[in-house]
Amino acid sequence: MHSTFQPIVILISGGGSNMAAIVSVAQKDAWSERLGARVVAVLSNKPDAGGLRLARALGIATEVLEHRAYANREIFDQALAAVIARYDQPQRPCLVVLAGFMRILTPGFVAEHAGRLLNIHPSLLPAFTGLHTHQRALEAGCKFAGATVHQVSAELDSGAILEQSVVPVLARDTAETLAQRVLATEHQIYPRAIAKWLVQRQAQAGESPIR
């Protein structure tokens, strides 16, 4: 048994399908027993985010920090960091997972959570950072698209790549149909990348995963 566990906090802004995929895999694969980790909370900057209902249905605590209630981005991020810190375990600060969290984080927040802040982006980074990735891939004539799980750094969508999926671009594709197929692969690679991160963290701490 683990005397402490690795807490995971997931940040969302919308429907939360990636969040639900992560929580479902964590429960099905017994991350708590095997990897000494559990999803402890889902936080959103939007009170009407559909993912909050999904999280509650999955038995996960939820909290809302509405960004419009804060004077600026720095104050919001400070408040967000304070909420996340409440879920920290002794010697194990939270792994923070961005799953459709539509906020650009300040350098201070990124620095505070460096090495334990993950994101998924709907393109094969380093191609098509930022928004409208699927439409841009179609306009560029790409034959393949995909998604990337990466560490978050101060520069947008530029941190170390942890996992990628590849999706062929079909002749009949629109941005919407391509997005749907890419999203289906996100649900597979994001939990896998997190599990690998947890195993690596255990190895660094001199622990052995429980099989």
pLDDT tens, position by position, 177-192 = 999 999 999 999 999 9
Residue 137, in any domain of the structure = yes
Question: CA 144, CA 101: separation in Å to the nearest integer?
Answer: 25
What is the predicted pLDDT for the residue at 19? Answer: 98
pLDDT-based confidence at residue 1 (cuts at 50, 70, 90): very low
Residue 211, in any domain of the structure = no
Helix axes 17-28, 50-57, angle to 10 degrees: 10
Question: CA 66, CA 13: separation in Å to the nearest integer?
Answer: 10
Residue 108, in any domain of the structure = yes
- Percent of all residues in the chain with a pLDDT value above 70, rounded to a whole number: 97
What value does the mean pLDDT of the chain take? 95
Secondary structure (H, E, C), the chain: CCCCCEEEEEEECCCCHHHHHHHHHHHHCCHHHHCCEEEEEEEECCCCCHHHHHHHHCCCEEEECCHHHCCCHHHHHHHHHHHHHCCCECCECCEEEECCCCCCCCHHHHHHCCCCEEEEECCCCCCCCCCCHHHHHHHCCCCEEEEEEEECCCCCCCCCEEEEEEEECCCCCCHHHHHHHHHHHHHHHHHHHHHHHHHHHHHHCCCCCCC
Section 101-116 average pLDDT: 96
Instruction: Output the domain CATH number for residue 193.
Output: 3.40.50.170
Residue 51, in any domain of the structure = yes
Residue 20, in any domain of the structure = yes
What is the predicted pLDDT for the residue at 204? Answer: 84
pLDDT tens-place string over residues 16-62: 999 999 999 999 999 999 999 999 999 999 999 999 999 999 999 99
Q: Which residues contact 139 (CB under 8 A, 6 or more apart)?
A: none
Question: CA 138, CA 142: separation in Å to the nearest integer?
Answer: 6
In this structure, how many other beta carbons lie within 10 angstroms of the beta carbon of residue 112?
A: 18
Known active-site residue 187: no
What is the predicted pLDDT for the residue at 4? Answer: 84
Section 125-131 average pLDDT: 97
What is the predicted pLDDT for the residue at 205? Answer: 78
Query: Residues 121, 134, 150, 187: which is the catalytic one?
Result: 121
CA angle centred on 32, ends 28 and 35, rounded to 5°: 100
What is the predicted pLDDT for the residue at 2? Answer: 46
Question: CA 158, CA 185: separation in Å to the nearest integer?
Answer: 20
Residue 124, in any domain of the structure = yes
Residue 122 has pLDDT above 90, yes or no: yes
Domains of the chain: total: 1
In this structure, how many other beta carbons lie within 10 angstroms of the beta carbon of residue 7?
A: 20
Residue 193 has pLDDT above 70, yes or no: yes
Full residue range of the structural domain in which residue 147 is found: 6-204
pTM of the model: 0.95
Section 80-108 average pLDDT: 96
Residue 211 has pLDDT above 60, yes or no: no
Residue 210, in any domain of the structure = no
Q: Which residues pair with 37 in a beta bridge?
A: 6
pLDDT-based confidence at residue 160 (cuts at 50, 70, 90): very high
